[in-house]
Amino acid sequence: MRIAILSDLHSNLEALTRVCEHAAALGAERYVCLGDFIGYGADPAPVLERVMALPGLVAVRGNHDEALFREMGREAFPEIRRAIAWTRERLSPVQLNFLDGLPLLVHDGRVTYAHASAHQPDAWEYLRQPDQIPACLEAAGTPMTFIGHVHVPRVFYETAAGAVRELVPQDGMAVPLSVSARYVINVGSVGQPRDGNNAACYVLYDNVAHEVTFHRLAYDYVTTARKIRDAGLSPFFAERLAYGR
Amino acid sequence: MRKPGEDSSTVREPVHEVRAGERVDGYRVGEPLHEGGMARLYRVSFSRSRRPLVMKVPKLGPGSPLSAWAAFENERQILARLHGPHVPRRVAVGDSRHRPYLVMEYIEGDALARAAARAPIAVDELRDLGARLCRAVHDLHRQNVIHLDINPANVRDRPGGEMVLLDFGVAHHAALPDHIDAAFGEEEGTTPYIAPEQVRHVRTDPRSDIYAIGAILYHLATGHYPHGRPNLLSLKKRLFEPPRPPRLHNPAVPAWLQEIILRCLAIRPERRYATAREVAYQLTHPETVHLTRRAHRLTRSGLLTRTRLWWRSLYEVFEDTAPRHPQEHLTRHPHVLVALDPAPADRSLRYALRDAVRKLARSEPHAYFTFLSVVKRVPEAGEDNDAPTANSSTVQCLAEMRNWAQPLHLRPERVHFQVIPGAPVAALVEYAQAHAIDHVILGARAKVGVDRLLGSVSYRVMRHVPCSVTVVRTREPLPAPAPGRRRR
């Protein structure tokens, strides 16, 4: 079965639409969303409407989603706080309920889903380096963990001797997964990629062939950016979409 | 053949041995061919095909190295992504849980191994074998794979002459997770051919394969290994000691060959040739090799040098300065062919052409250039004494090309000059194909006479070469100088 794994949508309707069309055309039967549905973008309600209708949806909570209900840490930028407050007014009670009820972690057989890390998932640590990976692997207890949060697609894997290495995945090329190894896979970001490539990113996981494929899709970020500016949100949120930073 | 679903519920010990006469999934196992540290090779046949095949079975179970499984999986995954004449064709793969094996085509030729066994060999034979090996390695790098264990035993050849690289057990594919652990304790590669950075466990530099090519050439030219007999000391020595000059072992080694070999064997990867294709080019065109001091050296490097290098090796870091993908590495080191008209009719076009080369040289700082003139024909010896002899006209042509290129101020190892005889279009196209040229730059002359009917040279070249072509044009030619006028 093919599972489409999406993360960090950030209220970007254009990117989400493009990704969903692409995944459906490739035969995705189930969808997993790894949190941060809202924040930054200007389409929170339409995005959630679309997400909640996805077949077989599995979802976990991200730090932006949590900020709707709890005060963010002191390090959060005022612009981000303002976007959260702006978003809160535009969501229906059903949508707010959906977000409030999301778990931090989901274990599904051989796979764990988390937003930032399986280790202390509510600490929102950014897993950027291989030396941060073992803690996540141990806490997950499954051979595979899918994460988001960093907005940079990566495959971290553990060799038989216990060393953790990373692979920069290429667009559209299947990465075979070994049965005996352990993986932490960052699926990148749908709504706000930050690896220098402005195309939306998501992962198709084939659990029969046991491989993951990263897909990069160009979408109409000009419209997304215009909506952000029109909504009076920080112009930087609009600008960074073009650079993929 | 195994039916799908069969045996899937029962867990069996993986088969790690097959015997002659046994049938495995329809393959009749024949004589054992080779036993390495990680796997055994058997000749096999298949009832419906007469092609000679080999089966590779990993050594599993008690007493076999832990890494045998990783090496087998690695080879299986990489081979599935490789194609072309320079790798063995994959025929079948056994179920990796129950019957791990790999069936590949059997490649008969072992010219390189036989040559290595009787080294030192003649220079012409070495050039031919070396250039063919380089082409195979270049093709591998183009497909994003670094072999990391090139040695004569892993290189076979087809009846057509193409070299085939075998054994991808420790190879690295830039787009796949790399499960090969240097930390297992066994050394990667085969001792005399391991690059210094491999000793330090760097697995992502395609220039490690260039080092192996250098070590093979060294051995073919001298009958010795670059760092003496393979042992732990020879392994460490390559980090701080340049190999003895090949001419010390064999005075018959020409200076240009010594230059090529020692450049391949440089300690730092960035001091080596960037691509195997460049080595192939130099081996086929020895006259274009830029000779440095090391080409003529006949003595071992001095004590001072060795001490300095040893000191440096203590804190030598081989970071992954090379781009992540070998393919990307190759695109940053393009081989550019610049076609120069031996009898330029139009000065402004020559200037424009030089300007185009200058721009490319600036934007591609690692590009290297071949300036090529095609002359109509070479007169036979003794033919027509009045006509300039082939030799003197070629020399003059080379001199003019050098003079033309001089304002570009390109480093000598970045430029090669060549004059070849033939018909302009056919010769250019053939040259570009034979040397896997990445980019052709040539000028478009104003159409005259026959060109108007057949299409210009530039147009016909553009149609036939398998790479990008830049055609340089000028808006209008400068008026030609008229030397006769003043006299009147």
CB contact under 8 A, B176 and A175: yes
Check the CA dihedral A107-A111-A116-A119 and report its sign.
positive
Q: Strand, helix or coil at B411?
A: coil
- Pick from A155, A175, A178: CB nearest B73: A178
The answer to whether position B485 is within a domain reads no
Which residues of chain A are within 8 Å of residue B180 when distances are taken between CB atoms? 159
Distance CA B333, CA B322 (A): 12
Residues A89-108 pLDDT 10s: 999 999 999 999 999 999 99
List, in order, residues 6 or more apart from A28 with CB less than 8 Å away: A2, A3, A4, A204
**Helix axes A44-52 and A93-100, enclosed angle (nearest 10):** 70
Rounded to an integer, the average pLDDT of B15-40 is 80
Residue B100 counted as domain residue: yes
Which position has the higher pLDDT, B154 or B377? B154
Same domain, B153 and B267: yes
- Tokens representing B45 are 């046949």
* Single-letter amino acid code for the residue at B290: H
Residue range B56-112, pLDDT digits in tens: 988 877 766 667 888 888 999 999 999 999 999 998 888 777 788 899 999 999 999
- Out of B77, B181, B324, the one facing A159 most closely (by C-beta) is B181
**pTM for this one?**
0.84
Residue of B nearest to A179 (CA): B97
The answer as to whether B477 is a domain residue is: no
Per the prediction, chain B carries an average pLDDT of: 84
Q: What is the DSSP string of B130-179?
A: HHHHHHHHHHHHHTTEE-S---GGGEEE-TTS-EEE---TT-EETTS---
More confident residue, B51 or B48: B51
Same domain, B341 and B398: yes
Considering only CB atoms, which chain B residues are within 8 Å of A163? 181, 183
Helix, strand, or coil (residue A121):
helix
> So what's the pLDDT on residue A174?
92
User: CA–CA separation, B244 vs B265, rounded Å?
Assistant: 11
Cβ distance A178 to B183 less than 8 Å, yes or no, reads no
Confidence of residue B457 (pLDDT cuts 50, 70, 90): confident
Residue-wise pLDDT tens digits, B394-422? 888 888 899 899 999 999 889 999 999 88
Asked if A157 has any chain B CB less than 8 Å from its own CB, the reply is: yes
Q: What is the pLDDT of residue B452?
A: 53
Query: What long-range pairs does B1-4 form, CB within 8 A, spacing at least 24?
Result: B1/B25, B1/B26, B2/B95, B2/B99
Indicate the SS3 state at residue B4: coil
Does one domain contain both B301 and B413?
no
| Residues in B touching A180 (Cβ below 8 Å) | 69
Is B263's pLDDT higher than 90? yes
Of B383 and A235, the one with more pLDDT? A235
Question: How close, in Å, is residue B72 to chain A by CA atoms?
Answer: 12
What CATH number is attached to the domain comprising A165?
3.60.21.10
Q: Which residues of B398-410 are buried (b: 16+ CB within 10 A; e: fewer)?
A: bebbeebbeebeb
Report angle CA B27, B31, B35 to the nearest 5 degrees: 105
Q: Is the pLDDT confidence value at B485 over 60?
A: no
How far apart are the C-alpha atoms of B305 and B245, rounded to whole Å? Answer: 14
> Looking at the domain assignment, is residue B92 inside a domain?
yes
Say if residue B204 is in the same domain as residue B307.
Answer: yes
DSSP 8-state code for residue B359: H
Show residues of chain B in contact with A155, CB under 8 Å: 177
**For chain A, how big is the Rg over CA atoms in Å?**
17
Give the A:B interface size as CB pairs under 8 Å. 44
pLDDT > 70 in chain B, percent:
84
Nearest by Cα to B67 from B160, B181, B192: B181
Q: Please name which of B452, B451, B443 lies closest in space to residue B373, comparing C-alpha atoms.
A: B443
Q: How many domains does chain B have?
A: 3
Chain A residues in contact with B66 (beta carbon < 8 A): 160
Interchain CB distance below 8 Å, B175 and A165:
no
- Put simply, whether A153 touches B (Cβ < 8 Å) is no
Domain identity same for B157 and B36:
no
Is residue B139 domain-resident?
yes
**B178/A167 CB distance under 8 A:** yes
Going by pLDDT thresholds of 50, 70 and 90, the confidence category of residue B51 is confident
B432: left (phi over 0), alpha (psi -120 to 50) or beta: alpha
**Could you report the per-residue pLDDT of B147-192, keeping only the tens digit for each?**
999 999 999 999 999 999 999 988 999 989 888 876 444 455 688 8
Residue A202 and residue A185 in contact, taking contact as beta carbons nearer than 8 Å: no
Domain that holds residue A66: 2-243
Q: Which of B328, B352, B368 is the last residue of a domain?
A: B328
Q: Are residues B160 and B295 in the same domain?
A: yes
A215/B349 Cα distance (integer angstroms): 46
A126 vs B236, residue with greater confidence: A126
pLDDT digit string, tens, across residues B312-366: 888 777 776 555 688 888 888 999 999 988 776 677 888 889 999 999 999 999 9
Give the residue-averaged pLDDT of A82-91: 93
The residue range of the domain holding B54 is 23-105
Residues in chain A with CB shorter than 8 Å from the CB of B177 are 155, 157, 165, 167, 175-178, 181
Cα–Cα distance measured from residue A145 to residue A168, given in angstroms and rounded to the nearest whole number: 17
pLDDT value of residue B481? 62
Count of other CB atoms within 10 angstroms of residue B347: 14
Give the alpha-carbon dihedral of B172, B175, B180, B182, to 10 degrees.
70
Instruction: Judge whether A202 and A215 are in contact, CB under 8 Å.
Output: yes
Mean pLDDT, range A218-240, rounded to an integer: 94
Q: Output the six-digit token pair for B391.
A: 């030799």
> Which of B69, B177, B184 has its CB closest to that of A155?
B177
Instruction: For residue B127, tell me if it sits in a domain.
Output: yes
Confidence of residue B476 (pLDDT cuts 50, 70, 90): low
User: How is residue A193 written in tokens?
Assistant: 């990629």
Q: What is the DSSP letter of A130?
A: G
Residue A123 phi, psi dihedral angles, 5° rounding: -90, -10
- Domain match, B101 and B116 both: no
Give the Å distances, CA to CA, from B87 to B19, B84, B133, B188, B206: 27, 6, 12, 20, 17
> B8 in a domain, yes or no?
no
Q: What is the CATH number of the domain that holds B407?
A: 3.40.50.620
Residue A208 forms contact with B (CB below 8 Å):
no
pLDDT of residue B8: 38
Q: Are B330 and B298 in contact (CB under 8 A)?
A: no
Whether A178 and B177 lie within 8 Å, measured CB to CB: yes
Of A163, A176, A179, the CB nearest to B176: A176
Domain harbouring B291, CATH code = 1.10.510.10
Q: Are residues B252 and B365 in the same domain?
A: no
Residue of A nearest to B177 (CA): A167
Residue B202: C-alpha distances to residues A129, A157, A159, B318, B472 (Å): 18, 17, 15, 7, 43
| Across B17-26, B137-146, B205-214, least confident range | B17-26
Q: Clarify whether residues B96 and B130 are in a common domain.
A: no
Question: How many domains does chain A divide into?
Answer: 1
Strands across the sheet containing A2-6: A58-59, A30-33, A2-6, A200-206, A211-217, A174-176
d(CA B295, CA B291): 6
Distance from CA of A52 to the nearest CA of B (A): 34
B281 contacts: CB under 8 Å, gap ≥ 6: B288, B335, B370, B416, B435
Radius of gyration (C-alpha) of chain B in whole angstroms = 27
Q: In this structure, are B87 and B217 located in the same domain?
A: no
Domain end marker among B70, B105, B140: B105
Residue A224 near residue A244, CB atoms below 8 Å: no
Question: Could you give the 3-state DSSP secondary structure of residue B126?
Answer: helix
Residues of B in contact with A173 (CB under 8 A): 175
Distance of alpha carbon B342 from alpha carbon A31, whole angstroms: 65
Residue B454 has pLDDT above 60, yes or no: no
B451 in the same domain as B303: no
**In this structure, what DSSP letter does residue B412 have?**
G
CB proximity list for B466: less than 8 A, separation 6 or greater: B432, B433
Choose among B197, B202, B173, B201: nearest CA to B187. B201
Report the alpha-carbon distance of residue A143 to residue A129 in Å, rounded: 19
**A160/B70 Cβ within 8 A:** yes
**pLDDT one-digit tens code per residue, A38-68:** 989 999 999 999 999 999 999 999 999 999 9
Query: Chain A contacts of B179, Cβ < 8 Å?
Result: 157, 159-160, 178, 181
A156 reaches B (C-beta below 8 A): no
Residue that finishes a domain, picked among B105, B130, B146 = B105
Q: How confident is the model at residue A136 (pLDDT cuts 50, 70, 90)?
A: very high
Binned at pLDDT 50, 70 and 90, residue B231 comes out as confident
Most confident of A71-80, A181-190, B49-58: A181-190
Contact check, Cβ <8 Å, A161/B324 = no
Tell me: do B353 and B449 sit in the same domain: yes
Q: What is the CATH number of the domain that holds B61?
A: 3.30.200.20
What residues of A are in contact with residue B98 (Cβ under 8 Å)?
Answer: none
Please give the C-alpha separations between residue B259 and each of B206, B215, B225, B280, B411, in angstroms, as whole numbers: 20, 13, 17, 14, 16
Q: What is the mean pLDDT of residues A73-90?
A: 87
C-alpha A137/C-alpha A130 separation (Å) is 11
Residues linked to residue B34 through DSSP beta bridges, in sequence order: B41
Bridge-partner residues for B70, per DSSP?
none
Which among B290, B207, B214 has a CA at the least distance from the CA of B255? B290
**Helix spans in B80-144 (H):** 111-117, 123-142
pLDDT at B300 over 50: yes
Measured CA to CA in angstroms, residue A89 lies from A12, A66, B299, B454 at distances of 17, 15, 82, 73
pLDDT, average across residues A184-200: 95
Cross-chain Cβ contact B175/A167 below 8 Å: yes
What confidence score (pLDDT) does residue B185 get? 44
B181/A163 Cβ within 8 A? yes
pLDDT average, residue stretch B464-486 = 74
Using a CB-CB distance cutoff of 8 angstroms, which residues of chain B are in contact with residue A160? Answer: 66-67, 70, 179, 181, 184
Where residue A204 falls among pLDDT bands split at 50, 70, 90? very high
